[in-house]
Structures are given as structure tokens and as C-alpha cells.
Structure 1
Amino acid sequence: MTVCTSNPENSIAVVTVDHPPVNALPVRGWYDLADAVRAAGRDPRVRCVVLTASGRGFNAGVDVKELQHDPGHEALIAVNRGCAEAFSAVYECEVPVVAAVHGFCLGGGIGLVGNADAIVASEDAVFGLPELDRGALGAATHLARLVPQHLMRALYFTSRTATAAELHAHGSVWRVVPREELEDVAMELAREIARKDGRLLRLAKAAINGIDPMDVRRSYRFEQGFTFEANLSGVADRVRSTFGQGSGGGSDNAGEERV
């Protein structure tokens, strides 16, 4: 099962992604994730959602092989819409979302955590956008919510990653903890949030989104337009044809370089 939801406590929903080997999600997976987060947020008993993942890392982005096997552009259109839905589901979730991140958080993973309300990360977590190595563009919108503007640009143009400790220094990661403590610390933060009045929490989430200086949905969709241009021009196919070869940013070797 790619996405599952559990309720370890009445006021907390845990949405877990499990799509071996590296949680690089196909089209259906992004929609399933969006549906799970939205459903958790609509549950009147839930006051906080914890977004987590099983396996080697939190998220390696889009399943590039699914795109490679599509001779046209249907898979690209579908996955772009799926990513947009999943990112929006996290941002628009009616209650706060805590992302619990371990290992690699790349590409679409940045879209998820960049739209979360709080991030707890394990010491081995790395964050980055290897999009230029994969024939794609996008999620700079969300990386810009995690690091300052010039660092975002350097990370984006080089496809390098930043560590959890570095993001903590920039104030975007709440706590950095040993891997074995990640679940407990994320749940500890979720419990603290969930002690607040449920109705007031929902009003607070809506209010904070309402004063956000960035329209994350519109800015991300703007970015995606350039992904389509890269595909129509043939540039994306040329880059994707080297995916997984050498330093081309395959998801299995992602996160080895960082700043």
C-alpha cells in the first residue's frame, strides 16, 4: 500500500507513505497522498496530522521511470497535477501538519515539507531539488519557504542538498533528532498542538494561510509551465535519458552532495 492513515491517538492522524524502494511516487501515489491528507484534515476528531514515510527516505520525488515509459505527455500532465494536488492538500489541510523527515527529501518531497506547518527531521535527513538533473523544473516555490533566497537559488542551480542541521539553523526545521527518536519527537509536537481547542486550531490555520505572503498554488503552477516547455522542446527527454547514470541525480544516489 502506497499511503495509509492511522490514528494512534484520537486527536492525531498519521499519514504514512510506503512506496519502495525510495518513495518516488507514481501518478496514483500523489493523488492517494492528497486524498489521505484531506480526509484526515476533515475528520472532526483530528487536531493535527503527522506526515511520515517508511523505508530508506522520506520522499525521492516523482517516479521518473513512469515518465520515461510514456511516449507522449499524458504521464507528465498527470503527475504535475498529482503533485500540485498533494502539495495543496498539505498546505490547505484544515489542521496543522507536522512533517517527520528521515533520509532523503528530494523533489516532490520538498513540495510536501515546504507546505507543512512544522518539520521534525532526523540527523541523517537531507533536503534538495535535483530537478535540473532529471529534466524537470519546479518546487523552488517550496524550497524558498525553507531557506533564504540566495541559498535556494544556489541549491536549485547545483542540485545540491542541505542537511537537517543547516535547515534548523535557518529556522525552518523545528528539531533535529537521532533517527530512532524521530517518530516520538514528531508525536510529541503533534500532541502539544492537539491540546489546543480544535475549532480554534482550524480557524488559526485558515488565518495563517490567509496572511501568507506567497500564493503557493499559483507560484508552483507557474513553475510547472516551464517544465512543459522543457518537455515540448526535447530538453527534458535528453536529460532524462541519462537518469541514474553517473552524477545525473538518480534517486538511488540522491543526497550524496550537499552544502
Structure 2
Amino acid sequence: MPITVKRIEEHIEVVTVDFPPVNALPVQGWFDLATAVRRAGEDPDVHVVVLRAEGRGFNAGVDIKEIQRDSGYGALVGANRGCHAAFGAVYDCAVPVVTAVHGFCLGGGIGLVGNSDVVIASADATFGVPEVERGALGAATHLARLVPQHLMRTLYFTARTITATELHAYGSVYRVVPREGLDEAALEVARDIAAKDPRVIRAAKEALNGIDTQHVHRSYRFEQGFTFELNLLGASDEAREAFLKDKEKDDD
């Protein structure tokens, strides 16, 4: 199952993403992830959600091949709406979301991490938004929650990545641990949260969202509007085709 939900311990729901080979999610995958996280938060017996992934990396964003196979804009619209739903489900989840990141975390992965409440990462984790090289825009909203403004702009314009250790220095990654200890480190924080009075924790999550200085839903949709413009201009299609051709060469 690409998206699985399991009660690992009392009051801790673990949502796992598994879309081989690189966890690039298709349209339905984003909506399924949104549903899993939202339902977990709605369960009164759940005090905290852990979001994790199997495979080579945490998340490689949207499935570009799916978009390119579509002769129209249906898959593109679906991917944008799906990402918005998944990112929003993490942010709006009624309980805290602890996200465990390993390997690469790109594009849509930044949207999930940026909207998480606690981020734990393995030492091999890297984070980035390569959207400008794919002819798209998006997730700057969420990258800005991880790094200072000027660094966010530099990373965005250059499509470069930043390491978990560097993010730890900014405080956006709570802990950096060896890959083999990632799940346990995430559960350790989750246990601490789960032991608290759930009435207080749920109220705290709502309160913290209420005083947030950035309206993440609105700003992300604003970004997406430029992606549609770039598609109409043909720039996005050219960029995606070039990316897929380069990827085929690398795979040979």
C-alpha cells in the first residue's frame, strides 16, 4: 500500500508513504496522504501523528511523468490541488505532526516538512525546492518556514539543497540522528507529546496556528497561480521534458 496508517503505540498514529522508486507522488497519492493525516487527527484517541516514508528518500515531489502523459492540464491541476490538500492536512491536523525525514526531501516534500510541527532528520537528509528547474513555482511558502528570508531566496533561485545539519543550526530541524535511529528518534518526541493532556495539546495546536504570521494556504495558492501562467507560456512543459530526458540519460 502506498499510504499506510498504523497505531504503533498507544495514542501515536504513524502515516507511512511508500511510492517506489523515489516517493514522487501521483495526484491520487497526495489526496490519499491528505485523507490519512486528516483522519488521524480527527480520531480522539490519537494524540500525535508521525509522518515518515520508506525507500531511498522522504519525498521527491510530484510525479512529473504523470503530468507529461496528460495531453491537457488535468494532471497538473490535480497535482496542485493534491499538494495543497496534503500540505494543508499536515498544517490543520488537530494534533501535532512529527515528520521523520531521510535522504532527499524535494519540492512537495518541503511542503509537508514546512507545515509540520516537529522535524526529525537523518544525517543523510537534504532539503531543496528544484521547482525553477522544472518550470514551476511553489513551496517557497514552506521553505520560508525552515530558513531565513535571504537564504530561502538563494536556495529557491539556484535550486540548491541544504543539509539536515544546516537546518538544525536554524532550529527548524529539532534533531539530526543516524539513519538507523530516525524512527526511534521521531517516536521519542511523539511519546513526549502523547503523554500530555490531549485537550491541552489540541488547543495548543489550534492556538499556534491562529497566531501564525503567515497564511500558508493563501500564500501557497498564490505561488501556484504563477505555475499555471508558466504552463500556458510553454515554459513548464519544456522544463519537464528536459528534466525527464536528463533523468533517462542518468538511468542508462
TM-score bracket for the superposition, by shorter chain length? over 0.9
Give, in angstroms, the shift of residue 122 of structure 1. 0.0
The reply to whether residue 231 of structure 1 matches residue 231 of structure 2 is yes
1:217 aligned counterpart, secondary structure = helix
Aligned to 2:180: 180
1:142 & 1:36 partners in 2: Cα distance?
21
2:208 aligned counterpart, secondary structure = helix
Aligned to 1:21: 21
Return 5+ residue gaps in structure 2 as ranges: none
Q: 1:49 to 1:252 in 2, by over 3 A?
A: farther
TM-score (normalizing by structure 2): 0.97
The reply to whether residue 34 of structure 1 matches residue 34 of structure 2 is yes
AA aligned opposite 2:177: V
Give, in angstroms, the shift of residue 136 of structure 1. 1.1
AA aligned opposite 2:179: R
Aligned to 1:94: 94
Aligned to 2:201: 201
Q: 1:66 to 1:73 in 2, by over 3 A?
A: same
Aligned to 2:138: 138
Q: Report if aligned partners of 1:59, 1:104 keep a CA contact under 8 Å in 2.
A: yes
Aligned to 2:44: 44
TM-score (normalizing by structure 1): 0.95
2:98 & 2:244 partners in 1: Cα distance?
31
> Which consecutive aligned stretches of 4+ in structure 1 deviate over 6 angstroms post-superposition?
none
The reply to whether residue 159 of structure 1 matches residue 164 of structure 2 is no
Deviations 1:212-242 (A, max 9, x none): 0000000000000000000011110111110
Q: How many residues align?
A: 250
AA aligned opposite 2:154: A
1:243 aligned counterpart, secondary structure = helix
1:202 & 1:161 partners in 2: Cα distance?
33
1:10 & 1:66 partners in 2: Cα distance?
38
AA aligned opposite 2:54: S
Aligned to 2:120: 120
Q: Indicate the structure with greater helix content.
A: 2
2:88 aligned counterpart, secondary structure = helix
Give, in angstroms, the shift of residue 252 of structure 1. 11
Give, in angstroms, the shift of residue 244 of structure 1. 3.5
Give, in angstroms, the shift of residue 133 of structure 1. 1.2
> Mean Cα displacement is larger for which, 237-246 or 2-11?
237-246
Q: Report if aligned partners of 1:60, 1:251 keep a CA contact under 8 Å in 2.
A: no
Q: Report if aligned partners of 1:22, 1:252 keep a CA contact under 8 Å in 2.
A: no
AA aligned opposite 1:133: E
**Alignment RMSD, CA only?**
1.3
Aligned counterparts, 1:39-118, within 5 A: 39-118=39-118
Return 5+ residue gaps in structure 1 as ranges: 254-259
Q: Report if aligned partners of 1:125, 1:163 keep a CA contact under 8 Å in 2.
A: yes
Deviations 1:66-91 (A, max 9, x none): 01101111111111000000000000
Aligned to 1:149: 149
1:120 aligned counterpart, secondary structure = strand
AA aligned opposite 1:146: L
Deviations 1:125-184 (A, max 9, x none): 000001111121100000000000000001001110000000000110000000000000
Q: Report if aligned partners of 1:107, 1:128 keep a CA contact under 8 Å in 2.
A: yes
Structure 1 vs Structure 2: percent identity of aligned residues? 66
Q: Report if aligned partners of 1:110, 1:139 keep a CA contact under 8 Å in 2.
A: yes
